[in-house]
Chain A
Amino acid sequence: MKNRAGVWLAGGLVLAFLLLFFVLPVGKVFITAFQDGDGTFTLGHFEAFFSQGLMREAFFNSLYVAVMSSVFAALIAVPLAYFTVRFDFRGALLIQTLGVLPLIMPPFVGAVALQLIFGRSGSINLLLQQHFGFTLPIMEGLNGVIFVEAIHYFPFILMNLTVALRNIDGAMEEAAMNLGCRGWRLFWRVIFPLAAPGFVAGASLVFVKVFDDLGTPLVMGQTNLLAPQAYLRITQVGLEDPLGYVISVIMIAFSVAAMALSARALKGRDYSTIQKGGGSLQRRRLTPMGSVAAYAWIGFILLLTLSPHIGVLLLSFAKVWSFAPLPDAYTLEHYRTVFADSSGMIRNTLLYCGLAATLDVVLGVTIAYLILRTKLPARQWLDWIATASLAVPGIVLAIGYLRLFKGVMIPGTEILITSTWVMIMLAYAVRRLPYALRSCMAALQQVHESLEEAAESLGATKLRTIQRVVVPLMAGGILAGFVISFITAAVELSATILLVSADSKAPMSYGIYLYMQSIAGRGPGAALGVLAIAVVALGTWLSHVVVERTNNRFAARPVDDHLPTLPPPLPGDAPAGPTAAAQR
């Protein structure tokens, strides 16, 4: 049958792509980590890793930073989530907005801005020193990394926990009150355990993201963590150094472990318990005092989460800003510099991310269709492989590319494949594929099969049906997937930093990083950062609009009963994507 051949061909092409640009490079990293010079299996590299004091320290530092960041992110997010669900007050909307704001900026950009505000000679400490005679060492050492990461990633916990709390049946709480339980005991014995799966999902995301983050510690000069160590090993010692691969394997192992933990926490514990005759938790009215306290706390958090944005904005307009709470003078010079020197970087970002996102939605639609609408054997594997890239840090994928394609020339030329920008683009595509895929799957699940059957019964072939019915109906989801892939790729640094072979091929994220290396470059770097934020914010808003519109279109029929069960927001700098939006 013609259709069958087409299905096999499509499946084969997708599989070939995933194997070549994901499975093989990562596999190569694993093999290298466990292989001796003569090719035999060895655990020697791991022994070497753990016998070096520096490496052991990096390992424990990474664990410490990831755990503490999750803890502080939880401290910020848990009260906020509880406020929105429990109380009837306008701040709830503010919290929802606040939940997305930090994500629309790469964390390493925020790090620079936070230095200027909370650093040793930052605005806050200068003011404290002047008026009270003491300073707060917030941005010192690992604590600084923890501070920046917690502020950046707490929305993951906020979003997941809010959804989980909203899904609790009010009768669950009333039953406890009826049996004599109230106040804190009520929260700890009933409400929190019921929302715990959402909390664990969010917290494990924070853990993974922080554990894998390269840009923030590099910018803050904290190199004794695993990701910066892997980067330094590869760039300074060379591609042959086995320790870089050992670190890569350890990072993947922790990502997988954290995700497995979260999957376990969610498995069989769908505590979204609203049933017949039930409603959500009863909202309470805040007392005037409570209202003031809640607003004060939210205001404080809002200010904290906005401080990187404010800092970057100020820095991009600042002529001179050092040892002063605010810049001494303002200028547009930095923007002029950026447009003069770095328009190539802006163009590169648009090119790489545009191509990567296009590739992602093509792959996403294909995989979604193969899984949901065909009986191709082992089709689920395509989904699993594509989604597995979530567990692979960017730097690891980049190392895999450099290793696997080492010495490979573009056919017919003398140009090394690894020296071209195609590698960067492919790394973006592979890393962002899970977002686009989720988005396409959700979109296709909403297109009822009978709509296709109707087209076929009227004489349309499979391919024509896909063109004329399926793709138009999925358009919203496809566009949302494109935008998410695009904007998250636009701020990715960890794969970029290893794969950029020349400044002329660098995208914006790398440019910001490069600028930020020198004091003089901070202004233009911030200006480029502001542009990146603008791009991401615009994209986020766009995807939100698209998703809303699509949801409205489908709202006409009762879809609630068989809406796809969406996974928790994917790890990554994905802001209000279809996942977040659809869970509301």
Chain B
Amino acid sequence: MKKVSVQCRNLRLSYGKVEVLRDVNLDIEPGEFFALLGPSGSGKSTLLRVIAGFNRHQHGHVRVDGVDISPLPPWQRNIGMVFQSYALWPHMTVWDNVAFGLVERRVDKATLKRKVGAALELVGLGSYAQRRPNQLSGGQQQRVALARTIVIEPQLLLLDEPLSNLDKTLRVQMRQELLAMQRRLGLTTIFVTHDQEEAMTTADRMAVLDKGVVQQVGSPVTLYDYPVNTFVAGFVGTMNLLPGRVRTRNSQMLTLDVDGVGELRFPAPADAPAGERLMVSFRPHSLRVDVADAAHDARFVWMPGTIEACEFLGESTRYRVRVGSHDMSVDHPHQMGLSRFPVGSAVSLGLEPSQVRLFGV
């Protein structure tokens, strides 16, 4: 099957005065598993529905394999979509649901039978053909919805929060199955989710959306390690943020005055933004916790704090630590027999300077 690329150029869509998409530009490579990640109301589902043809954009183009599909109605686009609710028709059997698109395409009986059978085998539901959707579990319904979509051999596969109606263990299993299936078929796939873990574990690349604007596009690792702004930093994984004022800066060192904490000194990163006020950001696992009066390793930048709460996660313990007027999340690796810091105890937090990212304010 030919793998297609997708380009969105200057997409704008608004309902009355509400701007849902503002100048969206995206390039999705052939065969890519691409995630659209964002909070609800960010416009990610709307963007997907624009590509499917259910929502009309007022400005811009959508090109699939170089062809502008904007003027085509949904039924002429040959773009498969799996709906959040699966949208299986309850009045049809599993077989009839899967056969639906082929019937619309006037495929001859023998081919139809072969293809529907193959699609059901592919999702492991060959023996469920005569059941009705309401006799299936959530995971099985999801597979039927997938089979129904891929049986028409769409040029592009769209998944709208496909896993959100499943329970957690099933969700993990299904996302691996989805990915395996996508790899086997080599189908360019766009996947909408609000769950950053889901996006990071599956996507080749992803776009983070907020308020109808694409904030950043890149591989999960890129977005996690090098977020371009505080929104992406906070939405992809957990991020600690400390606002500070620049006291001195030169090519090697940066001295910041952080509100309520005091002076912090870092080796200046090459991409540190200019400006008087900066936001210091770092992940919870870039901090180490030690008792307040321990001898401090000079490779770290140390801050005093107080334990406010703790959650035991198994492989680590997550502490909420009060530092000046700020709350920090800290992940402390757990070993067998290791005791926890009691709530209320005074601690020192050690920050690894190489793990710090600075944002302009």
Using a CB–CB cutoff of 8 Å, the interface residues on chain A facing chain B are 169, 171-172, 174-182, 185, 189-190, 193-194, 196, 268-269, 271, 273, 275-278, 282
Contact = CB atoms under 8 A, between A and B. Distances in A.
B74 A177 contact: yes
A271 B134 CA distance: 10
Contacts of B164: 276-277
B109 interface: no
Nearest to A178: B81
Contacts of A169: 85, 87
Given A179-B104, A193-B91, A171 B152 contact: no
B89 A193 contact: yes
Contacts of A171: 83-85, 87
Interface string B66-85: 00000001111011110111
Kindly state the interface size class of chain B when it binds its partner: 20 to 34
Contact of B165 (A182, A194, A276): A276
B90 interface: yes
Contact of B85 (A178, A181, A277): A277
A123 B164 CA distance: 63
A175 B84 CA distance: 11
Interface in B51-74: 52-54, 73-74
A263 B141 CA distance: 27
A276 B194 CA distance: 14
Contacts of B83: 171, 174-175, 277
Given A177-B75, A178-B52, A180-B75, A172 B89 contact: yes
A178 to B, nearest CB: 5
Contact of B75 (A181, A268, A273): A181
Contacts of A282: 54
Of B75, B134, B148, B149, the most chain A CB neighbours within 10 A belong to B75
Interface in B75-129: 75-76, 78-81, 83-85, 87-92, 100-101, 104-105
B331 interface: no
A196 B91 CA distance: 10
Contact of B91 (A271, A275, A278): A271
Interface string B268-293: 00000000000000000000000000
B32 interface: no
B91 A194 contact: yes
B84 A181 contact: no
A378 B11 CA distance: 64
A570 B361 CA distance: 66
Given A193-B89, A271-B91, A276-B164, A178 B80 contact: yes
Interface in B150-199: 152, 160-161, 164-165
Contacts of A194: 89-91
Nearest to B134: A268
A484 B43 CA distance: 48
Contacts of B149: 178-179
B84 A277 contact: yes
Interface of B: 52-54, 73-76, 78-81, 83-85, 87-92, 100-101, 104-105, 134, 148-149, 152, 160-161, 164-165
Contacts of A174: 52, 54, 74, 81, 83, 87
9 contacts: A174-B83, A175-B81, A176-B89, A178-B75, A179-B100, A275-B165, A276-B85, A277-B83, A277-B161
Nearest to A175: B87
Does more than half of chain B's interface fall in helix, strand or loop, or is it mixed? loop
Given A269-B91, A273-B90, A276-B165, A179 B152 contact: yes
B40 to A, nearest CB: 10
Nearest to A192: B91
Contact of A185 (B54, B73, B76, B104): B104
B90 A180 contact: no
Contacts of A277: 83-85, 160-161, 164-165
Contacts of A273: 85, 90
Contacts of B165: 275-277
A179 B84 contact: no
A244 B79 CA distance: 65
B39 to A, nearest CB: 15
Nearest to B77: A178
A182 B88 CA distance: 17
Given A174-B74, A277-B160, A277-B164, A180 B152 contact: yes
Given A180-B101, A278-B84, 18 more contacts: A171-B85, A171-B87, A174-B54, A174-B81, A175-B81, A175-B83, A176-B89, A179-B148, A180-B75, A180-B76, A180-B104, A181-B101, A196-B91, A277-B84, A277-B85, A277-B164, A277-B165, A278-B87
Nearest to A190: B89
Contacts of B79: 178
Of B74, B76, B85, the most chain A CB neighbours within 10 A belong to B85
Of A180, A275, A277, the most chain B CB neighbours within 10 A belong to A180
The 3 closest A-B pairs by CB, nearest first: A179-B101, A277-B84, A171-B87
Contacts of A180: 75-76, 78, 101, 104-105, 152
A492 to B, nearest CB: 38
Contacts of A196: 91
B133 to A, nearest CB: 10
A176 B83 CA distance: 11
Contacts of B90: 194, 269, 271, 273
Contacts of B76: 180
Contacts of B88: 175
Contacts of B148: 175, 179
